[in-house]
Structure 1
Amino acid sequence: MRGLLYGVVGACLMLAGTATAAERADRLKLQEDHPTEYVVVKGDTLWDISGRFLQTPWRWPEVWEVNPQIENPHLIYPGDQIYLTWVDGQPRLNLRRGLRKLSPQVRVQPLAQPVPAIPLRDIASFLNDNLVTQDDVLQSAPYVIGGRNESIIAGAGDRVYARGMLVEEEAEQQTLYRPSREYTHPVTGEFLGYELYKVADVSVASVDGDVVTLDLDKTREEVRTRDRLLPSQSKRIQSVFQPQPAPEVESGVIIDVLGGVAKIGQFDAVALSVGEFEGVEPGHVFAIYKKGEQVKDPVNGELVNLPAERAGELMVFKIFDRVSYGLVLNATNVISVGDELRTP
């Protein structure tokens, strides 16, 4: 079959396909109402733009690889125009840069920022603050025993004392965490890790035996006894992801919804029962399958489990050993804790 469209993703198009059934099943498909051109506006994300053209927006890197007209597809700015042309009967993506204002300083740079891959505002609070760790790490970390003048709570500018051996003795800047929840697999009951909530940034003033003196530099909440001291997380989360289908995982499910909301919908952050041990990486996209309901057979009275149905997609943005965080980017049905994760 000749002349197959390949579509635009985030600033892209579809791959041209040929004849085999396997290729036809795997080829990228355009949206039925896709535009022939689009002008990027402030607030867009690459996922949004991709979804205007492609039925599978997480596959936009495949399109970039075969469209060398875009030198750096991650750097797409408001005002840029994406449009399609045809060469020898095949579609091609072209990018026409919009007018950009430059700062009148010695160091000249664009005032406009490139559009992000996904809406970062929805995951900002989870990028570097929360931490999921194993039980042995938590139990061995020093813990706050009190403050000056016998105080049991403290804030920024105060001094507190912790007891235990530092995980990294040479690190002057460290972080106090508070265990917020324990993650277990809802199906197998397996322990997956403790989620730790960041309480304060601290400086190590001195160490005397197993007593550590800490100065509180910046606090999110009042520091209390039993808060745990761990090295600061220096690894920052990238704002641009390389989306790709997630690997097949065994018993992968949503185990929690972050941020205190009850129902899971588009742009909610969720915790997943898979992580680095299962080969999951930031940018991996999972299809979400809602568990089928259990109904009673009206003829013989047996209980029958209905098949799971696809309810949306999510992209992983932060990983730990046995747990990861993902952002729901599309929801076609109500999503719940316990819903399955599959390769899209």
Structure 2
Amino acid sequence: MIKQLSAAVFALAVAFPSLADVLAVKSDAPEQYVVKKGDTLWDISAIYLDKPWLWPELWQMNPQIDNPHLIYPGDTLYLVYDAQGRPRLVVKRPDNYQKLSPHGRKTMKRDALPTLSLELLRPFLTYEQALSEEQINAQPYVLGANENVKRSTQGHILYVKGDLERNASYAIYHKNRPYIDPQTEELLGYEVKLVATAKAFRSGDVNAGVPASIFVDGVKREINAGDFLLPVSQGQSLPATFHMRRPETAIDGEIIASSNQLREFSKMDIVVLNRGLVDEVKAGHMFDIRRQSPTVIDGRKGPQYKEDSSTYDKFMSNMEESMGMEEGEDNRTWHMPKEKVGELMVLKVQDRVSYGIITKTLRPIRVGDAVSVD
């Protein structure tokens, strides 16, 4: 699984379709930039663009380099403009190469930059998923161990109710908190946490009342009776390529949780959205994160935030809203717009929820912030 995730980072270095005819370069973008060790294409593009996922546009028609992904520490990047006035980055290489033969073949001594750093996907190695109760109940589950213990750990033999494939590897999950849609109050599924990995050495036969047997070979936390099994890679494969783009249709949702279970988080944290496959969300979709500005009641003491208003003004405000009074009609309640506080990219999509990584923050991101398309 870790190999798949690591490979995904380097596979991000692909050319994405143009999302705009003209790129908007930041007013303070430097005319040249020397690549440093640890830089990524994403980091460098953020120096020049407000929307760093548009970085491939900067490399189009670059006459100096066949593969724009192969830039190295020490390279100098120059910001230029083509005949149509479009910004481009070009590269000038230092002369630190090594001759391997009389034919003048050149081999660079340095490692090329990845598109995104491995640190970007580090939080996703928690392997959380969201499954429905029906999906969970359909899986094989732990009955007990070869010793009379309440919680099992590495090196234990576990007995499982279910028919398993002999010599196959399985992941053991614990059912955790429910994900509730705050807009509809529907149950979207349950968070399930990876607790261990194991290998089956007896297949079992449910119809004959014979349990399957597994040997625990890796543990993240203690295993309880009732924890369930899935094939080790099921639900854990990230796409080899993230085609970063805006959704083709309007999708509005909300951040309902985070992988660190805090209510406020920042860049590179993983968050859970109340939209998934059924809403046509796809890996690579880019969303703006917006926050509702506080409501103001223009009451007897003048404009005040709703929570600071008197009981009387709140009552009158609620009465006016229930009567369908429109804004500007001498009403007391003023609903302010939502303002942008950050951006995120969807990493993983399941039936009714998806997982995104925060790529930009203007303010700390919170549970309850809205996600939408510009």
Match of 1:309 among 334, 339, 362: 339
Q: What is the aligned partner in structure 2 of residue 145 from structure 1?
A: 143
Structure 1, unaligned runs of 5 or more: 1-9, 16-22
Q: 1:115-154: per-residue Cα shift (whole Å, max 9, x none)? A: 3444442431414722222222111111111101222222
Distance 1:139 1:287 in 2: 36
Q: Secondary structure at the match of 1:245?
A: coil
For the pair 1:48 / 2:49, whether they are aligned, the reply is no
For the pair 1:61 / 2:68, whether they are aligned, the reply is no
Distance 2:88 2:204 in 1: 67
Q: Secondary structure at the match of 2:147?
A: helix
Q: Secondary structure at the match of 2:46?
A: helix
- How far 1:97 sits from its partner (Å)? 3.9
Distance 1:131 1:99 in 2: 48
Alignment of 1:209-248 (within 5 A): 209-210=205-206, 211-233=211-233, 236-237=237-238, 241-248=242-249
- How far 1:244 sits from its partner (Å)? 1.4
Q: Secondary structure at the match of 1:259?
A: coil
Superposition RMSD on alpha carbons, in Å? Answer: 3.1
Q: 238-247 or 248-257: which moved more?
A: 238-247
- How far 1:304 sits from its partner (Å)? 2.5
Q: 1:181-208: per-residue Cα shift (whole Å, max 9, x none)? A: 2112111112222221111111011123
- How far 1:261 sits from its partner (Å)? 2.9
Letter in 2 for 1:276: L
Alignment of 1:242-257 (within 5 A): 242-257=243-258
Q: 1:180-235: per-residue Cα shift (whole Å, max 9, x none)? A: 22112111112222221111111011123222111001111122111111111165
- How far 1:258 sits from its partner (Å)? 1.7
Alignment of 1:168-179 (within 5 A): 169=165, 172-179=168-175
Mark the structure with the bigger radius of gyration.
2
Q: What is the aligned partner in structure 1 of residue 7 from structure 2?
A: none
Letter in 1 for 2:204: D
| Mapped contact 1:159–1:213 kept (Cα < 8 A) | yes
For the pair 1:195 / 2:162, whether they are aligned, the reply is no
Alignment of 1:223-302 (within 5 A): 223-233=223-233, 236-237=237-238, 241-298=242-299, 302=332
Distance 1:190 1:59 in 2: 36
Q: Secondary structure at the match of 1:209?
A: coil
User: How many residues align structurally?
Assistant: 317
For the pair 1:34 / 2:45, whether they are aligned, the reply is no
Letter in 2 for 1:192: L
How many percent identity over aligned positions?
34
Distance 2:58 2:166 in 1: 46
Q: What is the aligned partner in structure 1 of residue 317 from structure 2?
A: none
Q: What is the aligned partner in structure 1 of residue 92 from structure 2?
A: 96
Give the TM-score normalised by structure 2.
0.75
| Mapped contact 1:45–1:119 kept (Cα < 8 A) | yes
Distance 2:297 2:114 in 1: 47
Q: 238-247 or 44-53: which moved more?
A: 238-247
Q: 1:295-327: per-residue Cα shift (whole Å, max 9, x none)? A: 212366733221111111111122222211111
Q: Secondary structure at the match of 1:226?
A: coil
1:11/1:123 CA distance change after superposition, 3 Å: closer
